[in-house]
Amino acid sequence: MALGRYNRVDNNNNKSSSYCSTVTIVIFMGLCLVGIWMITSSWVVPVQNGDDPAEEKKNQLKDQVETVIVDSNDRDNKPQFEDKRNDLHKDGLEKDLDVSLDKYKGKANLAAEENQEKTEETKWDKSKKDNQQFNSVGGEKNVYNSENLGGQGSENAEKKSDSNKDDKKSGSENAEKKGDESTSRTYGDKVDKNDDKVSDKRSADQSSNEVFPSVAQSELLNETMIHNGSFTTQAAESNKEKNAQSSSNSSSKDYIWKLCNSTAGPDFIPCLDNCEAIRNLPTNIHYEHRERHCPEVPPTCLVPLPEGYKFPIEWPKSRDKIWYKNVPHSKLVEFKGGQNWLKITGDYLTFPGGGTQFRRGALHYIDFIQKAVPDIAWGKRSRVILDVGCGVASFGGYLFERNVLVMSLAPKDEHEAQVQFALERGIPAVSAVMGTKRLPYPGTVFDIIHCARCRVPWHIEGGKLLLELNRLLRPGGFFLWSATPVYQLKAQDVEIWKAMIEQTKAMCWELVNKTSKEPINKVAIATFRKPTSNECYKQRSQQEPPLCLESDDPNAAWNVPLQTCMHKVPLDPSERGSKWPEEWPARLEKSPYWLLSSQVGVVTKSYMQGMGINWSSVRNVMDMKAVYGGFAAALKDMNLWVMNVIPVDFPDTLPIIYERGLFGIYHDWCESFSTYPRSYDLLHADHIFSRVKKRCNFVAVVAEVDRILRPGGKLIARDDVETITELENMVRSMHWEVRLSYSKDKEGLLCVQKSMWRPTEVETLTYAIA
């Protein structure tokens, strides 16, 4: 019975199987008929338009596209098709197949017709929608991908496009948000850093929302696909650059610093203490041994500190006293003690305010000059002064109270460290001598030149040195001379006075006033004025000294030999020197009359306040590349002074700086500056290092920065990121404190503070050993 039961089941199964087979055959035939109808009614090869502007480009790209299409047709037994622009079908399967063909041939058309921007946008709007539908069809997505770009599918290409879009979006947001992306900012040891990478989460969100890139980005992608990878993507380039910068930072060079061993010790000035060069001079009759003789290879060692060095006393107290151990020299105290220059008082060197010609105080001497020559008008008409043979610069130190800037200069001679005393006091001064070369200043820039018993032989050799003053003095400017020949009747003094009168008359200088001895300091002053026209030059019976050749540039001053000649007074209203500048302080802001347009630079106060600097502790400042003096102008209301340096290989804008009532000097930063170590509280370097390091030893330049900057002093540097990074690595190796590090758009800003650290290993400079 069991068997019979199973037989009934088998019979029923046979009947059911026959029924299913019949239904299957019917359905299959129906589908075939539907398929034949669809093919005959819808799949029509479009007529080629001979006027289609893209046809020629299609033919050129045929070889790149044909292989992909033919191989696919072989697999699916389907005919080859071409689509005209905007000839996309609206039914599901037809649309998907059409889009897949258009993806290769339509994109080629797009690359060939980039100039038709409006049409391209319409096409890519449609293509974007079609690709979204195409990708939504499972199994169809990779129909043609196996042959694309060596096996890389369109899905990968679209992901790369999304990556491009994310990166470009990130870039546009950077332009709108200050300091957001590609920006790093460091205060001391605290770092606040925003990487310019887009987060994974953000990329994922954008990828899910944006399946296809924008028009411009798609064009770049198409170019890359058509040329098989010959164009890189922005994402790849950006990542490569970031990796390179990261690698550069992580493998920063290790700098090994040594301590300079020289006869000058803590007071070493490389270009003035080159003992070897001085020994080999054929003569020193014209003070050649006091001039600059720079070593062929600039030193890269660090100058030692004096034993017991302390942070300098702040201005204005420093004008009256400084730490003795900072400038431990007593010879000048003994040599000039009777002239009230300076005294040793406990731990201090004190300055009673006197000098050789004003033992009872500089202010009384300054007021005496004003009374003798009212036209001088301290701080108004007379703003920028050159003090030759300045001693410890008390004259310049007290003229600050009259809104006057004084460029004090004196040689490094037997008057031990006189310029160093001046700088330690907070008074501007440089080490220089009137010898065989022009002083490093442009022509006709000083309102007054002062010499108080400066021991310069003005009258000898045809008045060559006095003619250098004539080059520097403005037309209508004054020469103040209070040496002993003015008021003493000794035979030598009388002879020198007579020679000076003859010389100044030949130069057409007018003797404005010769005072009698004033009762307190018991000195007299002779005041000469430079002419404001050329009439006197023409009327001279003898043309001695002669006029300089027209080719002789009075502004050329770097290593230029002195000439025994005079330059003509400029008369054209458009020439500098034909008019006296505006009174101070109007001359600071008003564009000089001889400029075609306003070119004065301004540094914003926000820039100055953003450094985290206590400006009350800053007195001696140097702008290493001053341009128009904008940095100094921004600091005009502060109790400090700025030495504006114009590098010799930069445009000569130093005359503009003087015209504004500021002062400065020419210099070549491949050499050491003519100042003592530890002279400045702050150095400002705006795009100077990247230029200098192309022709100089950058390590030597940074060693020079260390030499002239005081411990506790600060360096503000603005430059390209590469240079700022290199500079930061160097100063860190010298144990300087990084107060601020900021970069954006390949520009960097760095503020660092020098420490007391000195290396222990010593390097002996043989040329600097006496």
* Same domain flag for 481 and 609: no
The arithmetic mean of pLDDT across residues 736-751, rounded, is: 94
Residue 691 tokens, joined:
């230029």
What single string gives the DSSP state of each residue in 233-294? -HHHHHHHHHHHHHHHHHTPPPP---EEE-TTGGG--TTT--HHHHHT-S--TTSGGGS---
pLDDT for 332: 75
* Same domain flag for 734 and 627: yes
Helical H segments across 313-384, by residue range: 331-336, 362-372
* Dist CA 179 CA 391 (whole Å): 50
Helical H segments across 77-116, by residue range: 92-112
In the predicted model, is pLDDT for residue 762 greater than 70? yes
The arithmetic mean of pLDDT across residues 280-295, rounded, is: 96
The residue behind tokens 């128009």 is 628
The answer to whether position 323 is within a domain reads no
pLDDT for 197: 37
Structural domain boundaries, residue 531: 360-539
The arithmetic mean of pLDDT across residues 397-421, rounded, is: 91
In the predicted model, is pLDDT for residue 506 greater than 80? yes
Angle formed at CA 76 by CA 73 and CA 78, multiple of 5 degrees = 55
* Same domain flag for 614 and 740: yes
Answer yes or no: pTM beyond 0.75. no
Contact in structure between 496 and 591 (CB atoms under 8 Å): no
Contact in structure between 482 and 512 (CB atoms under 8 Å): no
| Of 675 and 87, the one with more pLDDT | 675
The arithmetic mean of pLDDT across residues 55-66, rounded, is: 41
* Same domain flag for 532 and 631: no
Strand 747-753 vs strand 737-744: parallel, antiparallel, or unpaired? Answer: antiparallel
The answer to whether position 273 is within a domain reads no
The answer to whether position 371 is within a domain reads yes
CATH number of the domain bearing residue 622: 3.40.50.150
pLDDT for 53: 41
Query: Which among 539, 571, 594 is the end of a domain?
Result: 539
The answer to whether position 594 is within a domain reads yes
Bridge partners of residue 748, in order along the sequence: 719, 743
Contact in structure between 531 and 568 (CB atoms under 8 Å): no
In the predicted model, is pLDDT for residue 61 greater than 50? no
In the predicted model, is pLDDT for residue 220 greater than 50? no
The answer to whether position 287 is within a domain reads no
* Same domain flag for 368 and 472: yes
In tens, the pLDDT along 24-46 reads 777 777 777 767 666 655 444 44
E-strand stretches of 136-188: 183-187
- How far is the CA of 742 from the CAs of 180, 432, 674, 685, 716, in angstroms? 12, 38, 32, 15, 11
Query: Which among 539, 574, 594 is the end of a domain?
Result: 539
- How far is the CA of 271 from the CAs of 558, 672, 768, in angstroms? 14, 6, 10
* Same domain flag for 479 and 408: yes
Bridge partners of residue 738, in order along the sequence: 752
* Same domain flag for 713 and 621: yes
Determine what percent of the chain is predicted with pLDDT higher than 70: 65
* Same domain flag for 487 and 597: no
* Same domain flag for 597 and 521: no
Mean pLDDT lowest among 242-251, 349-358, 571-580: 242-251
Query: Which among 180, 202, 231 is the end of a domain?
Result: 231
In the predicted model, is pLDDT for residue 588 greater than 90? yes
| Of 426 and 609, the one with more pLDDT | 426
Contact in structure between 422 and 403 (CB atoms under 8 Å): no
In the predicted model, is pLDDT for residue 734 greater than 60? yes
In the predicted model, is pLDDT for residue 112 greater than 70? no
* Same domain flag for 534 and 622: no
| Of 61 and 398, the one with more pLDDT | 398
In the predicted model, is pLDDT for residue 169 greater than 60? no
The answer to whether position 574 is within a domain reads no
The answer to whether position 154 is within a domain reads no
Q: Would you say how long the chain is, in residues?
A: 770
In the predicted model, is pLDDT for residue 214 greater than 70? no
pLDDT for 245: 55
Strand 384-388 vs strand 405-410: parallel, antiparallel, or unpaired? Answer: parallel
The answer to whether position 312 is within a domain reads no
Helices 234-250, 721-733: crossing angle, 10 deg rounding: 20
* Same domain flag for 198 and 89: yes
In the predicted model, is pLDDT for residue 558 greater than 50? yes
* Same domain flag for 535 and 600: no
| Of 131 and 375, the one with more pLDDT | 375
- Residue 334's pLDDT band, with cuts at 50, 70 and 90, is confident
Strand 762-764 vs strand 259-261: parallel, antiparallel, or unpaired? Answer: parallel
Residues 6 or more apart in contact with residue 370 via CB below 8 angstroms: 376, 377, 378
For residue 473, give the amino acid letter.
L
Region for residue 17 given its phi and psi (left: phi exceeds 0; alpha: psi -120 to 50; beta: otherwise): alpha
Angle formed at CA 351 by CA 346 and CA 355, multiple of 5 degrees = 145
Average per-residue pLDDT for the chain: 77
Domain count, the chain: 3
Write the secondary structure of 455-492 as one string of H (helix), E (strand) and C (coil).
CCCCCCHHHHHHHHHHHHEEEEEEEEECCHHHCCCCHH
In tens, the pLDDT along 231-244 reads 444 455 556 655 55
397: enclosing H helix or E strand: helix 394-399
Mean pLDDT lowest among 66-70, 370-374, 408-412, 745-749: 66-70
In the predicted model, is pLDDT for residue 195 greater than 50? no
